[in-house]
Every structure is written in structure tokens, then in C-alpha cells.
Amino acid sequence: MNILWIKDGKLGHEKQVKVLLDELSKTIEIKVYEEEYVIGPLQRYSEILTYAMNGGVYDQDLTNLKYHKKNIQLIIGAGSNVYPRILSIKDGIRSQYIKDILAVSILVPNYFKTHFDLICAPKHDRHKLSGHEAVYFEGSLAKVSTGAVDENVGLIAIGGKNKHYLFNVNKIMEQIEFVTSIYPNKTWHIFPSRRTPHKMIQAIEKLAQSSKKIIISEGGFDEMLSKASIKIITQDSMNMVYESLSTKGSTILFNMKYLRKNKVIKQMNELLHNKQVGYIEYNEMVKGLNKIKIHMQNPHHEVFAEVEKLAYKIKNKLNLS
């Protein structure tokens, strides 16, 4: 099967599509063509409007001929910027060459839901798809690893300012210092993100200077995630939380106050309620004196395998072979 992957340049979207394609490739023979399609909000709104006004087809140029010659059978992508592009190529090939071709959306499109042959969506977005053809997965898609962990390795993954949780640099740093102090024999790999504030970067750099057991890492996140025996992750980073849960080792959430209840908060709270993740308890006893304690996740937790389940559902739904 020849697949066209439309990429929007956003790491969180592209990682989920990649792990799904990798999983599909384990049981069916596929060839993946990639198209980079990085656009801004104004162009996205223009394309949505143009697509709607032209009855579903606005791209009838040489692009369609190119992909027709490559015998594209399925087009896939994640993110609001790429959905109109996926549909325009699908409809363009169908109208000009009378060829069957499938359009698959990872995550929920804001528009034209009925134009997709299949939508793959997280369960917390189920309410957006009432009456639509969809298959569901929990959280986000991540590579599954069941390899043994290294008890001498720990990982800390830090997000940044977001619309879900209060990102308190001082409070998070205090928790990092606590965790690294109670596990002094572990080598801790700290992974900041593009959202991590400069003040936070400076603080962890200063901490790393005080100990050879603390390393600020820029690359090799997936490898270290599967190796670490314990992983401490900020709650704003849903993708990283589910990537961690898809590997062995303990997953612990930083203590963070939420700004307002929404689907992300609900999802994290559900994981906490079911003890699928551990958490750091952080209480201010008196001013300047805080009580910090780690509550571990259920020791009998199973590694998440959502991408494997989804790949199986897709193959059955679309009769792929």
C-alpha cells in the first residue's frame, strides 16, 4: 500500500502519525511518501473557505497527477493545517482519475468531518464526533517499549507555560531538587522543551553544575525514556505522559495547580484516580516550609499499547492487507 503523509511541522502531531505508520508496517507492506505542509493561520482559513466554496475540490493542478502516478491509496495526517490539504488531494485524484483513495485523520478535524473515510481520535474528544465514523485511542499515540529498564537511570521531562496548568518555576525546581536528593545514586537526565521558560533553564543548569549525576539532555529522549526506571513529568505535557506510560518504569507527575477544568485536566485526573501514574504531593506547612512526598503508581500497571490497538482497528475498518 502506498501512503501519503501530509506533515505540519509540529513535533507532537508528527510523532503520533509516525508511530502509527511504523506499527502498520509491521504487518502490512507500505511505502510512505511525505509532503511538508507548514502554513500559517491566515492561509489555513483561506484554504478552508476555498475548499468549502468549491464543493470539495480546489487542488486540480499537477500535484494530483504526481500522486496519481505514485498510486497513492491512502492519505494521512494530524493537525488543523493539513486536513484541507488531505481532502483536496483525495478529491482531486478521485475527480480527475476516478480512483479509490482513502483519507484518514489523526485527531479530530474542526471542519469537513464527514469527508474523511476514517477519523482516529482520543477518547476524550469522543463528544466532538457524535454520528461520525471514528476509532478511538486513549491519550496520545506513542511507541511501545517493553525492554528492561536501568535502575541507575532517571528522567525528568519539563514542559512550560500553557493554558492548562500554572507553571511555577520555583515550585517545580523544589520538586526536582527533592527527587534527585532521595535517589542520589541515579543519573538524572533532564529534558526541557521548547516551551520551558528561560528562568527554568537557568535554574536546572545551575543544579546540574552542582552534581555529576544530573545531566541536561537535548537529544535521545525516546531512548532514555525506555531506559529510565523512574520518569518525572510535568502534567501539561500529555504527549510525554503517554509516551512514558508506553514504556516500562514508573511514571510520576509533578504537582501543579490547574488553571481551569478542561479535557486535559480531566484526563490527567483520571490517570491519577486509577493510579496509572504516581504523583508528587506538595503541601505548604507554614510559610517557607513545604512537605514533599512521592506517591508511586500501581506497581502492577501494564505498559500502554494504544498504537498497537489502533493499528489493528484501522486494518479491520479499512480492510487493509
> Is the pTM above the cut of 0.85?
yes
In a domain, 79, yes or no: yes
Q: Write down the pLDDT at residue 38.
A: 87
Residue 172 lies in a domain: yes
Task: State the pLDDT confidence band at 254, using cuts at 50, 70 and 90.
Answer: very high
pLDDT tens digits along 149-161:
999 999 999 999 9
Tell me which residue range forms the domain holding 118: 2-143+308-318
CB 230 within 8 Å of CB 250: yes
> Do residues 180 and 134 both lie within one domain?
no
303 within a domain of the structure (yes/no): no
Query: Domain containing 25 — which CATH number?
Result: 3.40.50
pLDDT tens-digit map of 65-114: 788 788 899 999 999 889 988 998 888 777 666 577 899 999 999 888 98
Number of domains, the chain = 2
pLDDT-wise least confident of 67-71, 169-173, 271-275 = 67-71
Which of 47-61, 242-256, 272-286 is the most confident on average? 242-256
Would you say 164 and 257 are in contact if contact means Cβ atoms under 8 Å apart?
no
Same domain as 179, residue 99: no
Residue 301 within any structural domain of the chain: no
